[in-house]
Amino acid sequence: MRILPCGDRAVLVEVDDGPSRRRLDAALRRQPPQGVVEQVPGARTVLVRVGAAGDVPGLVAAVRAVAGGALQGSEPAQGDPQARLEETVRISVRYDGPDLEEVAHLLAVPPEEVVRRHTSQSWTVEFSGFAPGFGYLLGDEGGLDVPRRASPRTRIPPGSVALGGPFTGVYPRPSPGGWQLIGSTDARLWDPDRDPPALFAPGARVRFADVRQE
């Protein structure tokens, strides 16, 4: 683990891999250091921001103390199969996206197999970014790693279910984007009047279902 400076009010904690990052993020949420305003996970990092510069030395000490236990594997990681900390979010999908055929071609499988791989595994929201409510989800089993489109679309309709690199995600609002679109959902990914407003908060477990099978 490395604790890196991030200005006068935050540190960026870097660990070796995704599972360690999940454990650290969960442990810090359970035992927030004094003065914390934000805690933001990334792929292999957790950013912790405090309200005053004077809180940073204490923050560094607290992160070291919490990380000691979390990274030795004594704490369950959200997303680990044995740890059912979060209720699973279920998303009904129409697998009729304009890039479904292309994705099938890239993976050298029939389109039905793309749908089977997307619906047969559990996904974990690793981190957010890009837009309010947009989560980057990794699957437990993988098998859907595809490159982004060569030229991004200028407008992707909200509710589009997409693949990009090892991740899947759902566009919460109309936006440009370069991911491969495999389907669409009516689920409201983002509702500022709901608490929490994002359906896909970091650490959440997600299953996708084919509406034709329901």
Partner 1 sequence: MLVVEQVGTLALLQDLGRPGHTHLGVPPSGAADRPALRLANRLVGNDEGAPAVELLLGGLTLRAEQAVVVAVTGAPAPVAVGRRVSSPYAAVHVPAGCTVSVGRPVHGLRSYLAVRGGFAASLTLGSASTDLTSGLGPPPLEPGQRLEVGGSVTGPSRGSDLTGARPGPQRGVTLRAVVGPRDDWFSGDAVHALASAEWQVCRDSDRVGVRLQGPALSRARTDELPSEAVVRGAVQVPAAGQPLVFFADHPTTGGYPVIAVVLDEDTDLLAQLAPGDTLRFALRRASWLPL
Interacting residue ranges for partner 1, rule: CB under 8 A: 4-10, 12, 14, 37-47, 49, 53, 56-57, 60, 127-136, 173, 192, 196-198, 201-202
Tell me whether residue 121 or residue 128 sits nearer to partner 1 (CB atom): 128
Tell me whether residue 38 or residue 96 sits nearer to partner 1 (CB atom): 38
CB of 40 to partner 1, least distance (A): 4
Tell me whether residue 56 or residue 114 sits nearer to partner 1 (CB atom): 56
CB of 142 to partner 1, least distance (A): 17
State the Rg of the chain over Cα: 18
CB of 173 to partner 1, least distance (A): 6
CA distance 154 to 138: 25
CA distance 109 to 107: 6
CB of 190 to partner 1, least distance (A): 8
CA distance 89 to 123: 10
CB of 66 to partner 1, least distance (A): 16
Helix (H) or strand (E) holding 67: helix 56-71
CA distance 136 to 163: 10
Residue 70 identity (one-letter amino acid): A
At a CB cut-off of 8 Å and minimum separation 6, what does 155 contact? 174, 175, 176
Tell me whether residue 42 or residue 159 sits nearer to partner 1 (CB atom): 42
Tell me whether residue 17 or residue 214 sits nearer to partner 1 (CB atom): 17
What region does 197 belong to: left with phi over 0, alpha with psi -120 to 50, or beta? Answer: alpha
